[in-house]
């Protein structure tokens, strides 16, 4: 056996203190296999050692929450015996190295997290952040990531219904690929990962194990240097075909009562799935690696325990049910093997070629994993109202804004995703939230992902609140009742106190907003160490929100539907230009305070709007976010092919009023006869509301300011993506 040298410890990403603690927990030196197991279980990714103390502060409960954080995904009750299961997860680093496969396997991974709990995935979302468009790598990364997401999701037959794409130079060396999966199950058929009881068979299902994604650093150690080319850390290649079979086979097995516990093999594959299942079940697990289906000859115990081969699951069955389960997996032409047994020792014991190659108390891997209260340096939020040129042509600016990389149409992206398969997509990409019908019912799920990283950079706390508020607002805007969120906390190196502050403030902001909006966090993921040239990315706590519509027939969309409708602005406008898209794209400045978020105003305004939609009084609604009022109106006009004429309120300055990014606002269009009633109702509810003008014509016109044809807007809006990605970039394929 290889002696563990300080270099090997270092290569495994463990500190001296952590290594000392491992020796103490074992009462001896670990061998290399054990060291590998500790290194992944104690990694930031698996142990949440930098964030755990902070995540504890998030609100995770509500009467409708059936399962909060701690399982593969969170679960909410959506009535009638239906449960909605969802989670978001990042695949940032792999996607930067190999965009197609990195993104594809990210999609596959999050789907497994959801269907391992018994749900059929019904919708996918993705939140993507790329470097500056003119950075030499960006084009290739965008086309690869989008093709990879489509390549996997389309084959799975799950509609990809929305997401976000943003560009900023802080992601030049570290893109973000966050994928969210939403699934449906019955509330009494939810599967958990606690491997309870001793003497139960542990079964391996899915694809064979290869040397995929084994931690690069470990290759330096002696045992792994025979053939460095062969042992190079390999990128994981996704196999959506096998995953589709795995999905169907798992759902078929789940229809029986043979399963005690089931868990996907994600990061750190066999190691983390077995340790976590044993940990949750309070049991021990013994594995015999000779039984593991292997793709390559001569795999070592180390390889098998650390492999991140995709499309695999681990399950604990009731004794005697192996044959029945095996028949199902054989039918779907998948590998199936009994590779171990649960015990009452609470130890993880691994055998290979007749020898015990690892024997560790499971608590040493889980409970005893390090937890850090990393130091942080509080940074004052950016402040002040930026200076802008009030004489600029508003309509020219509008055309420029709608044609800018962060605001233009994402059609080029979503047309590569099958967004209507499963025949329940009632709101396709392009609106405020996607809506998928609960199959066979009139209910719908509203789904959205949101975060505005530039706000988070200026003010991590307000910015994180804003991300939650925007998600909540997007769901209200289609008429959904916001139910719960998943989060994907993308930050820089937590060992740098300034980044750690962003994390601490960000989690606090999310917690505050979720509490105020009764919008609990039921699952999530942290991705730290995202850096470009030693500088952290913009803090990017992406929020994935899910809401419920009682009746999808009553859903609102952004498209203007009739000429002659009254346009009503809901919410207060102060003309906040700090950190706005307008300021960045038109004035070339990233300055000022992020817009403050008044959570009680959010609640009041959103409740009013949702109520109007639910009552069938509003069918056209858009929340105001990037680009403010005029951008929202332009989007509504382009979507509906109907223009509008509005006027500024007395004394309002055009640019701040039209482009300011004040929060808690919506623009609705209603038949003019209904306008007075709605305005009166808003007044009673204490919600600022004002009639701005009417719909009609083929232009957007602002009285005394200017006008622009919808055609000109649309041309700019649709042009950027195809022009940016057309021609020179070869679409990647698998």
Active site (catalytic) residues: 45, 91
Tell the residue number behind the tokens 């396997």, with chain if given.
Answer: 105
What separation in angstroms does the CA of 8 have from each of 42, 207, 218? Answer: 15, 30, 7
Q: Is 353 exposed, middle or buried (0-12, 13-18, 19+ CB in 10 A)?
A: exposed
Q: Which residues contact 253 (CB under 8 A, 6 or more apart)?
A: 259, 315, 325, 328, 329
The H-or-E segment that residue 611 falls in is helix 599-614
By the rule CB under 6 A, 567 interacts with ligand ADP = no
Q: Decide the pairing of beta strands 201-206 and 312-317.
A: antiparallel
Tokens found for residue 704 = 């005394």
Catalogue the E-assigned strands of 320-400.
Answer: 335-343, 347-352, 355-361
Total residues interacting with other proteins, rule: CB under 8 A: 58
By the rule CB under 6 A, 279 interacts with ligand ADP = no
Q: Identify which of residues 55 and 630 has a Cβ nearer to ligand ADP in the complex.
A: 55
Rounded to an integer, what distance in angstroms lies between the CA atom of residue 134 and that of residue 286?
53
Q: Identify which of residues 47 and 207 has a Cβ nearer to other proteins in the complex.
A: 207
Binds other proteins (CB under 8 A): choice among 296, 344, 378, 393: 296
Smallest gap from Cβ 381 to other proteins, in A, equals 40
What separation in angstroms does the CA of 82 have from each of 180, 439, 458, 476? Answer: 19, 11, 41, 21
Q: Identify which of residues 244 and 352 has a Cβ nearer to other proteins in the complex.
A: 244
Pick the closest to residue 22 from 364, 345, 349 (CA basis): 364
Q: 39 contacts which partner out of Mg ion, other proteins, ligand ADP, none, CB within 5 to 8 A by kind?
A: none
Rounded to an integer, what distance in angstroms lies between the CA atom of residue 561 and that of residue 636?
9
DSSP label at residue 119: P
Smallest gap from Cβ 491 to ligand ADP, in A, equals 10
Catalogue the E-assigned strands of 421-528.
Answer: 425-427, 434-437, 444-450, 481-490, 521-527
Q: Identify which of residues 199 and 241 has a Cβ nearer to other proteins in the complex.
A: 241
By the rule CB under 6 A, 128 interacts with ligand ADP = no
Rounded to an integer, what distance in angstroms lies between the CA atom of residue 176 and that of residue 537?
9
Rounded to an integer, what distance in angstroms lies between the CA atom of residue 214 and that of residue 574?
53
Residues in a beta bridge with 178? 90, 127
By the rule CB under 8 A, 157 interacts with other proteins = yes
By the rule CB under 8 A, 206 interacts with other proteins = no
Q: 298 contacts which partner out of other proteins, ligand ADP, Mg ion, none, CB within 5 to 8 A by kind?
A: none
By the rule CB under 6 A, 121 interacts with ligand ADP = no
Q: 340 contacts which partner out of Mg ion, ligand ADP, other proteins, none, CB within 5 to 8 A by kind?
A: none
DSSP label at residue 538: P
User: According to CB under 6 A, which residues from 495 to 534 bind ligand ADP?
Assistant: 521, 523-526
By the rule CB under 8 A, 548 interacts with other proteins = no
By the rule CB under 6 A, 627 interacts with ligand ADP = no
User: According to CB under 8 A, which residues from 405 to 434 bind other proteins?
Assistant: 414-426, 428
By the rule CB under 8 A, 347 interacts with other proteins = no
SS (H, E, C) 19-52: HHHHHHHHCCCCCHHHHHHHHHHCCHHHHCCCCH
Site string for Mg ion, 70-89 (x = CB under 5 A): --x-----------------
Smallest gap from Cβ 483 to ligand ADP, in A, equals 15
Smallest gap from Cβ 264 to Mg ion, in A, equals 5
Tokens found for residue 580 = 């706005």
Binds other proteins (CB under 8 A): choice among 245, 348, 349, 658: 245
Rounded to an integer, what distance in angstroms lies between the CA atom of residue 424 and that of residue 434?
11
By the rule CB under 8 A, 613 interacts with other proteins = no
Pick the closest to residue 560 from 676, 371, 414, 697 (CA basis): 697
Helix and strand totals (H; E) in the chain: 24, 28
Q: 673 contacts which partner out of Mg ion, ligand ADP, other proteins, none, CB within 5 to 8 A by kind?
A: none
Residue 344 near residue 284, CB atoms below 8 Å: yes
Binds Mg ion (CB under 5 A): choice among 240, 266, 269, 403: 266
Give the number of other Cβ atoms within 10 Å of residue 564's Cβ: 12
Largest CA distance in the chain: 85
Q: Identify which of residues 82 and 113 has a Cβ nearer to Mg ion in the complex.
A: 113
Q: 415 contacts which partner out of other proteins, ligand ADP, Mg ion, none, CB within 5 to 8 A by kind?
A: other proteins
DSSP label at residue 385: P
By the rule CB under 8 A, 309 interacts with other proteins = yes
Q: 155 contacts which partner out of other proteins, ligand ADP, Mg ion, none, CB within 5 to 8 A by kind?
A: other proteins
User: According to CB under 6 A, which residues from 68 to 97 bind ligand ADP?
Assistant: 69-72, 87, 89
Binds ligand ADP (CB under 6 A): choice among 77, 113, 335, 661: 113
Site string for other proteins, 81-100 (x = CB under 8 A): ----------------xx--
Rounded to an integer, what distance in angstroms lies between the CA atom of residue 178 and that of residue 623?
23
By the rule CB under 5 A, 274 interacts with Mg ion = no
By the rule CB under 6 A, 49 interacts with ligand ADP = no
Smallest gap from Cβ 384 to ligand ADP, in A, equals 31
Name the residues that contact other proteins, by CB under 8 A: 97-98, 101, 147, 150-151, 154-157, 207, 210-212, 230, 232, 234-242, 244-245, 295-296, 309-310, 332-333, 414-426, 428, 437, 552-553, 727-734
Name the residues that contact Mg ion, by CB under 5 A: 72, 113, 264, 266
Name the residues that contact ligand ADP, by CB under 6 A: 46, 55, 58, 69-72, 87, 89, 113, 266-267, 487, 489, 521, 523-526
């Amino acid at each position: 056996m290889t002696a563990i040298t300080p270099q090997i410890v270092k290569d495994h990403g463990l500190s001296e203190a952590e290594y000392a603690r491992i020796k103490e927990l074992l009462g001896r030196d670990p061998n290399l296999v054990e060291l590998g197991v500790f290194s992944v279980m104690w990694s930031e990714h698996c142990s949440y050692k930098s964030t755990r103390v902070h995540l504890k502060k998030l609100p995770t409960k509500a009467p409708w929450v059936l399962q909060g954080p701690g399982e593969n995904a969170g679960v909410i009750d959506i009535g009638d015996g239906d449960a909605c299961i969802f989670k978001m997860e990042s695949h940032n680093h792999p996607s930067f190295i190999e965009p197609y496969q990195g993104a594809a396997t990210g999609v596959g991974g999050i789907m497994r997290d959801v269907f391992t709990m018994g749900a059929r995935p019904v919708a996918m979302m993705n939140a993507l952040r790329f470097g500056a468009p003119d950075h030499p790598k960006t084009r290739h990364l965008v086309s690869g990531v989008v093709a990879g997401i489509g390549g996997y999701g389309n084959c799975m037959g799950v509609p990809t219904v929305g997401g976000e794409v943003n560009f900023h130079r802080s992601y030049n060396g570290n893109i973000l690929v966050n994928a969210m999966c939403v699934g449906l199950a019955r509330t009494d058929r939810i599967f958990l990962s606690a491997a309870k009881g001793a003497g139960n068979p542990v079964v391996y299902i899915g694809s064979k194990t290869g040397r995929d994604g084994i931690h690069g650093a470990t290759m330096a150690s002696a045992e792994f240097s025979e053939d460095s080319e062969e042992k190079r850390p390999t990128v994981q290649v996704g196999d959506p075909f096998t995953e589709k079979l795995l999905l169907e086979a798992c759902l078929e097995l789940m229809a029986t009562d043979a399963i005690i516990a089931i868990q996907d093999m994600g990061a750190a594959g066999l190691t983390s799935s077995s340790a976590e299942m044993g940990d949750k079940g309070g049991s021990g697990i013994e594995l015999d690696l000779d039984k593991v289906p292997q793709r390559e000859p001569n795999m070592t115990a180390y390889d098998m325990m650390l492999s991140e081969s995709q499309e695999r699951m681990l399950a604990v069955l009731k004794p005697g049910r192996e044959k029945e389960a095996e028949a199902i997996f054989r039918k779907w032409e998948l590998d199936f093997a009994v590779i171990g047994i649960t015990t009452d020792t609470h130890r993880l014991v691994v055998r290979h070629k007749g020898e015990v190659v690892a024997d560790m108390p499971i608590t040493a891997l889980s409970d005893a994993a390090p937890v850090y209260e990393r130091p942080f340096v509080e940074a004052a939020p950016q402040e002040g109202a930026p200076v802008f040129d009030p004489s600029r042509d508003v309509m020219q600016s509008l055309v420029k804004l709608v044609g800018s990389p962060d605001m233009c149409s994402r059609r080029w992206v979503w047309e590569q995703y099958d967004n209507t398969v499963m025949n329940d997509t009632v709101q396709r990409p392009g609106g405020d939230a996607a809506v998928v019908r609960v199959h066979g019912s009139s209910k719908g799920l509203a789904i959205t992902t949101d975060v505005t990283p530039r706000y988070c950079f200026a003010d991590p706390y307000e910015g994180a609140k804003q991300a939650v508020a925007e998600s909540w607002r997007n769901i209200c805007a289609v008429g959904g009742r916001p139910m719960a969120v998943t989060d994907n906390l993308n930050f820089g190196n937590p060992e740098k106190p300034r980044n750690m502050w962003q994390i601490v403030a960000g989690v606090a902001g999310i917690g505050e907003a979720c509490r105020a909006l009764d919008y609990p966090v039921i699952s999530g993921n942290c991705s730290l160490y995202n850096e470009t040239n030693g500088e952290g990315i913009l803090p990017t706590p992406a929020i994935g929100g899910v809401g419920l519509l009682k009746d999808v027939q009553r859903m609102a969309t952004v498209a203007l539907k009739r000429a002659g409708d009254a346009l009503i602005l809901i919410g207060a406008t102060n003309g906040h230009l700090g950190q706005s898209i307008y300021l960045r794209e038109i004035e070339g400045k990233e300055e000022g305070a992020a817009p403050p978020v008044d959570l009680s105003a959010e609640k009041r305004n959103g409740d009013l709007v949702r109520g109007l939609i639910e009552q069938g009084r509003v069918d056209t609604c858009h929340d105001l976010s990037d680009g403010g009022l005029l951008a929202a109106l332009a989007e509504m006009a382009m979507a509906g092919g109907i223009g509008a004429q509005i006027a500024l309120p007395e004394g309002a300055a055009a640019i701040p009023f039209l482009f300011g990014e004040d929060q808690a606002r919506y623009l609705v269009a209603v038949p003019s006869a209904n306008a007075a009633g709605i305005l009166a109702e808003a007044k009673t509810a204490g919600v600022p509301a004002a009639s701005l003008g009417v719909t009609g014509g083929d232009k957007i016109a602002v009285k005394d300011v200017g006008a622009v044809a919808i055609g000109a807007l649309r041309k700019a809006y649709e042009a950027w993506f195809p022009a940016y990605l057309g021609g020179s970039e070869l679409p990647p394929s698998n």
